[in-house]
Amino acid sequence: MTYSIVARDLDTGQMGVAVQTCNLAVGTWVPWAEGGVGAVATQALAERRYGTLGLALLRGGMTAPQALAALLAADPQREFRQVSLVDRAGRVATHTGRRCMPEAGSHVGPGFCTQANMMARDTVWEAMAVAYQEARGDLAERLLAALDAAQAEGGDIRGQQTAALLVVDAAPNPFPLVDLRVDHHPRPVQELHRLLRLHRAYSAERAVARSTQEPGAPGEKAQVEAWLEEIATLAPGEGYLQFLRAMHLAGRLGREQEALTLLGELIRQDPMWREYLRREAQVDHCGYPGLGQRLLDALEP
């Protein structure tokens, strides 16, 4: 009823899970990962404790094969389970129970495993493995390439409904690098691609905002310009991000005329943005004292 991939990036050490199924809110069940520890996908007759306990065993020093063996030994319903783990060293373990709904199977590769059950064809997990290994980009993009390949190969025999993407760092960290979920959508993997683009745009804006606290580092202006261009490219229709981009253009780079043009277009599309700018001017929320009022005055007829 589900196809997924667990993987550790051989270069960066990042780990993650990507998954799609024809059921509601798959991100609350299948994908589990923790920075510096490992990643787990639990599906078929999904059992969340494979995620929580699996990560606890990995955190305690077990390898992925050792952790999976311990989990299966304690589970009387193991023949209904499909589960895969990857640990921080890139060791992989996988299990497909005899009573998983066909077509079901998995493919283990260097630092990753693809797995699927209730598929339209028994070629899905192999197609995912090929796509992951041939894909370019960072781990998140390659995980999504595997999902694309699964859907192109026929995917879940029941169709599409929900998808999720979870990526964590190589170093111990309680917060994921990427945590995106599509809980109910006619094209969930396609929607996950869109959300990943937005995630990158919002991450770029947060990077600019952080840089305002310690301006002046060598090469920083060029980096800020690159981040702002990323926002413009990845999220041209996202009003709030474009408002923030305008504030950074003026406050961080001194490009006030460009900011005024952008703000004027936003206000033309929705007058709410004038009121939002007025409120920004009251509190200097973006961290540029006096800028909001100066821009507001310049926009007055």
**Per-domain residue ranges for the chain?**
2-186, 201-299
Domain 2-186, CATH homologous superfamily name and number: Aminohydrolase, N-terminal nucleophile (Ntn) domain (3.60.20.10)
Q: How confident is the model at residue 1, as a pLDDT? A: 72
Average pLDDT over residues 32-56: 97
State the average pLDDT over residues 62-70. 98
Q: How confident is the model at residue 212 (pLDDT cuts 50, 70, 90)?
A: confident
Closest listed residue to residue 20, CA positions, set 130, 131, 183, 177: 183
One-letter amino acid identity for 134? E
pTM: 0.94
What's the rounded mean pLDDT across residues 154-183?
Answer: 96
Q: Report the C-alpha gap between 190 and 88 in whole angstroms.
A: 29
In this prediction, residue 213 has a pLDDT band, given cuts at 50, 70 and 90, of confident
Task: Give the mean pLDDT of 290-301.
Answer: 93
pLDDT score of 2 more than 80: yes
| Mean pLDDT computed over 209-232 | 85
Instruction: Note the pLDDT of residue 211.
Output: 87
DSSP 49-99: HHHHHHHHHHHTT--HHHHHHHHHHT-TTGGGEEEEEEETT--EEEEE-TT
Express as a percent the part of the chain with pLDDT over 70.
98
**Confidence at residue 219, expressed as pLDDT on a 0 to 100 scale:** 66
What pLDDT does residue 216 have?
A: 63
| Helix ranges, the chain (H) | 49-59, 64-73, 124-134, 139-152, 188-211, 220-234, 239-253, 256-269, 272-283, 291-299
The answer to whether the beta carbons of residues 129 and 116 sit under 8 Å apart is no
pLDDT classification of 215: cutoffs 50, 70, 90? low
Residue 164's pLDDT is: 98
pLDDT value at position 218? 60
pLDDT mean across residues, the chain: 96
